[in-house]
Structure 1
């Protein structure tokens, strides 16, 4: 009987430890494209960023580029401010975000076209 109580206590303790471990584990970002973006940042040597913040700022790059008059340098400057990083890493961050989140823009530029439909602005 003494051993069955010890086994029960050990079982409960193990369950609690497992629950705490699962509750404190860092969750994946759930979107494979976003996960690939965060991984590519680490591969490029851009480290020390909160993955959720990096994903949020990365997803803002395409809409920023779509704003009238915006250029990559302007967007990289805004990314630099958002992340609190120097312009060099922010420019690399911006390029990676464009590559992963704005594939249509990359294809348009490769074809010599504007990624933004300039006809909408009277051009």
Structure 2
């Protein structure tokens, strides 16, 4: 099945919104990084090396803010960086957005361009 930009963008937006609304970070997590790793583990993406997961996760927001960039492109870049298929990379991207750049969740739902993150 070939994924199109609208399908990937919708999946990333849905994942980010769902993660932001349905899964608050665990109370014992004392940092954004801990919350991110815990959330990855919860959604069965915890087998990614933690240092790599954090490094790639922290690049998502700056990538979204680049001119001409969109969620589908970012998910594809994440897939390449993690060596994962697009499906898990899309979930990872949504989780990274919801934890590292929550303002982007509002931008996605409001149709605001990601360039405001810069």
Task: Give the structure-2-normalised TM-score.
Answer: 0.68
Q: Counterparts in 2 of 1:23-42, with a 5 A limit?
A: 32-42=31-41
Residue equivalent to 1:63: 62
Secondary structure of 2:115's counterpart equals: coil
Q: What's the Cα RMSD here?
A: 2.0
- Please identify the structure whose Cα radius of gyration is greater: 1
**Closer, same or farther: CA 31–55 of 1 in aligned 2, 3 Å:** farther
Q: Distance in 2 between matches of 1:112 and 1:79?
A: 22
Q: Distance in 2 between matches of 1:112 and 1:70?
A: 14
Q: Distance in 2 between matches of 1:90 and 1:69?
A: 20
Q: Flag the structure with more relative contact order, 1 or 2, with Cα contacts below 8 A and sequence separation at least 6.
A: 2
Counterpart contact for 2:63–2:69, Cα < 8 Å: yes
Q: Distance in 2 between matches of 1:85 and 1:115?
A: 24
* Structure 2 unpaired stretches of 5+: 1-28
Residue equivalent to 2:113: 114
CA deviation string 1:17-60 (max 9, x = no partner): xxxxxxxxxxxxx9710110011011111132111110000000
Residue equivalent to 2:49: 50
Q: Distance in 1 between matches of 2:67 and 2:47?
A: 32
Task: Give the structure-1-normalised TM-score.
Answer: 0.65
Secondary structure of 1:59's counterpart equals: helix
Q: Distance in 1 between matches of 2:84 and 2:111?
A: 31
